[in-house]
């Protein structure tokens, strides 16, 4: 009765705007957008309507998660297919494909000609409708945009009642289910199913029975059930693209997301209100987070990130419930992260003169590709708009970086900003926190010549591969 996979039958409840969605989906030619957070039943509602339509009018369901479906979605965007199509997980499509589909939706909205244009029913996470309108601003009035909200208490109780009546059972205090699920349709079904199995109510009985609600026990059973399915993906995500005992920004970010109680967050906003993880989030949100999800297939099944909007989503409500009740300290230990006396915002901060920017940029890019937290000024200009570089450089080269990689030559010795940076990090030389890269024979004030560093004086053709060998790989060894 209580269904956690597929479309429910006995326990399906209609959201308040169900009829409006049905009418728009049924109307030929009119594009439709259905948006809302994970667990609000978007796909279930659309599939219910799909099943209720005549075969001739029923749209074809396609998911952006399936490679074969994406190939067909591309064909639709190119005008090679007509008909009615449900495109689920729209936000997972490339920006270019989303734009093409938005343009197609605009034409369909203008003409309402089913013989010339396909009908699109688009399903996505929060704000997908708004994003579509931003792609093509003048289609707003012609597109049916519907937001699915979490179930109210009354709607949740209706769901529970329909299932318990079919089972000839009564829940001891169904409001406890709502307090735990907060209107999440999937979680409500899961909690009800678990309450029944814990109480031994496995099928419809002869006489009506009472199902007790011990939420502590029910929660423990659900979390343990989900652990086998989702813990490996969570651990893979937290350990990053290239594991190092000190490389824990993904762990910190995911923990804060779980503690926020919101499965869809703006990482920029999240960083601004969580100072203790601001550096970790800012360091991965531009490049490294997307690289991680591109390289880790298991993690990418459950986590989504859009660098254009800095939107991060835990797409499966089951995964998010698991994260909310996870033992994060035990996960940290299991990941192999090493406790440190000091937590650094950056693994490496690169100090250089502008004449050596090409080398600095290459080293930064290579280190980023190896999942190292790097401060390279060009990558952080937007983060520090309105702030004084002198104050930020004092913080970054003084205490916020684990090591300073300095590209030393006559330019570094003579120019104002490199000299300022050097004055900040010179006290760290004696601690072994500064890695000199000697680009010429120029004496550098404050850095004794016997400080072991890296010699790199050949910038002739092919210098990039030599820089990898001489600088990048040695830095990685140092970090490890």
pLDDT value at position 403?
Answer: 95
Two tokens, residue 453: 């560093």
Average pLDDT of the chain, as a whole number: 88
Q: 272: Cβ–Cβ under 8 A, 6 or more apart, which residues?
A: 278
**Cα 119–Cα 263–Cα 20 angle in degrees, nearest 5:** 35
What are the pLDDT digits (tens) for 398-417? 988 999 999 999 999 999 99
Identify the pLDDT of residue 387: 64
pLDDT recorded at residue 134 = 62
Cβ atoms of 198 and 221 within 8 Å: the answer is yes
Mean pLDDT of 27-40: 84
Domain residue limits, the chain: 18-147, 153-220, 226-335, 346-479
> Lowest mean pLDDT: which of 202-211, 233-242, 316-325, 465-474?
202-211
DSSP code, position 377: G
Residue 296: predicted pLDDT: 92
- Cα 17 from Cα 173, distance rounded (Å): 28
The reply to whether 346-479 shares the fold of 18-147 is yes
Q: pTM here?
A: 0.76
**pLDDT tens digits along 76-98:** 999 899 899 999 988 888 888 98
More confident residue, 106 or 387: 106
- Beta-carbon contacts of 347 under 8 Å, excluding residues fewer than 6 positions away, are 246, 247, 367, 372, 373, 374, 401, 402, 403, 479
Query: What are the residues whose beta carbons fall under 8 Å from the beta carbon of 202, sequence distance 6 or more?
Result: 196
For a pLDDT cut of 90, what percent of the chain falls above it?
Answer: 51
Q: How far apart are CA 34 and CA 155, in angstroms?
A: 19
Instruction: Supply the DSSP string of 138-191, one letter for each residue.
Output: GGGGGSEEEEPPPPPHHHHHHHHHHHHHHHTEEES-THHHHHHHTT-HHHHHHH
Spell out the residues 6+ positions from residue 305 whose beta carbon is closer than 8 angstroms to its own.
267, 289, 290, 293, 311, 312, 313
CB atoms within 10 A of CB 336: 12
Please report, rounded to a whole number, the percentage of residues in the chain having pLDDT higher than 70.
93
The CATH code for residues 346-479 is: 3.40.50.10140
β 311-314/346-351 pair status: unpaired
Q: How many CB atoms lie within 10 A of CB 11?
A: 21
Largest CA distance in the chain: 92
What pLDDT, on a 0 to 100 scale, did the predictor assign at position 92?
87
Joined together, the tokens standing for residue 92 give: 């997972």
pLDDT (tens digit per residue) in 118-165 = 999 999 876 555 665 565 666 666 788 898 888 899 999 999 999 998
Question: Would you state the structure tokens that stand for residue 221, as one six-digit string?
Answer: 């059973």
The 8-class DSSP code of residue 207 comes to S
The 10 Å Cβ neighbour count of residue 16 is 11
CATH of 18-147, one of 3.40.50.11540, 3.10.180.10, 3.40.50.300, 3.90.1300.10: 3.40.50.300
Q: Outline where 249-385 has alpha helix (H).
A: 249-260, 267-272, 275-284, 288-295, 297-300, 317-324, 328-335, 357-369
Q: How far is the CA of 283 from the CAs of 103, 260, 313, 339, 374, in angstroms?
A: 35, 20, 18, 20, 8
Task: Render 163-177 in DSSP notation, one character per residue.
Answer: HHHHHTEEES-THHH
Centre a 10 Å sphere on the Cβ of residue 287 and count the other Cβ atoms it contains: 15
- CB under 8 Å to 405, separation ≥6 — which residues? 348, 349, 350, 351, 363, 435, 437, 471, 475
3-state SS, 224-235, equals HHHHHHHHHHHH
DSSP-derived 3-state class of residue 96: helix
The pLDDT assigned to 340 comes to: 56
pLDDT value at position 41?
Answer: 86
């Amino acid at each position: 009765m209580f269904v956690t996979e597929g479309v429910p039958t006995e326990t399906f409840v209609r959201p308040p705007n169900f009829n409006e969605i049905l009418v728009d989906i049924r109307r030929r030619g009119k594009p439709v957008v259905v948006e809302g957070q994970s667990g609000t039943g978007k796909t279930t509602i659309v599939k219910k309507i799909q099943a209720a339509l005549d075969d001739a009018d029923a749209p074809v369901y396609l998911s952006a998660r399936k490679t074969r479906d994406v190939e067909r979605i591309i064909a639709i965007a190119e005008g090679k297919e007509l008909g009615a199509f449900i495109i689920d997980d729209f936000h997972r499509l490339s920006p270019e494909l989303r734009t093409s589909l938005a343009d197609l939706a605009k034409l369909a909205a203008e003409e309402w000609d089913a013989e010339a244009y396909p009908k699109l029913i688009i399903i996505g996470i929060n704000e997908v409708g708004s994003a579509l309108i931003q792609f093509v601003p003048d289609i707003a009035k012609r597109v049916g945009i519907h937001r699915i909200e979490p179930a109210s208490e009354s709607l949740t109780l209706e769901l529970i009642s329909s299932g318990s009546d079919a089972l000839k059972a009564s829940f001891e205090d169904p409001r406890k289910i709502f307090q735990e699920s907060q209107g999440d349709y999937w979680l409500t079904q899961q909690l009800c199913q678990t309450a029944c199995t814990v109480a031994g109510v496995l099928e419809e009985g002869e006489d009506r029975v009472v199902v007790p609600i011990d939420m502590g026990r029910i929660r423990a059973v659900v979390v343990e059930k989900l652990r086998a399915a989702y813990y490996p993906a969570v651990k893979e995500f937290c350990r990053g693209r290239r594991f190092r005992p000190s490389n824990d920004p993904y762990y910190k970010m995911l923990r804060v997301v779980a503690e926020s109680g919101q499965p869809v967050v703006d990482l920029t906003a999240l960083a601004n209100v969580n100072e203790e993880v601001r550096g970790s989030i800012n360091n991965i949100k531009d490049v490294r987070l997307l690289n991680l999800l591109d390289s880790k297939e298991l993690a990418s099944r459950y986590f989504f990130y859009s660098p254009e909007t800095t939107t991060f989503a835990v797409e499966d409500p089951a995964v998010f419930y698991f994260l909310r009740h996870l033992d994060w300290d035990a996960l940290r230990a299991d990941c192999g992260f090493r406790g440190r006396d000091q937590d650094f915002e950056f693994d490496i901060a690169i100090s250089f003169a502008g004449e050596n920017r090409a080398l600095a940029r290459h080293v930064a890019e290579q280190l980023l590709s190896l999942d190292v937290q790097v401060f390279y000024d060009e990558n952080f200009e937007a983060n520090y708009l309105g702030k004084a570089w002198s104050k930020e450089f004092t913080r970054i080269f003084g205490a916020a970086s684990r090591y300073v990689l300095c590209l030393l030559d006559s330019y570094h010795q003579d120019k104002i900003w490199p000299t300022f940076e050097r004055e900040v990090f010179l006290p760290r030389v004696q601690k072994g926190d500064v890695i000199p890269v000697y680009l010429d024979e120029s004496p550098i004030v404050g850095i004794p010549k016997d400080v072991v560093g890296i010699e790199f004086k050949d910038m002739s053709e092919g210098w990039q591969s030599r820089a990898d060998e001489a600088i990048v790989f040695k830095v990685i060894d140092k970090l490890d």
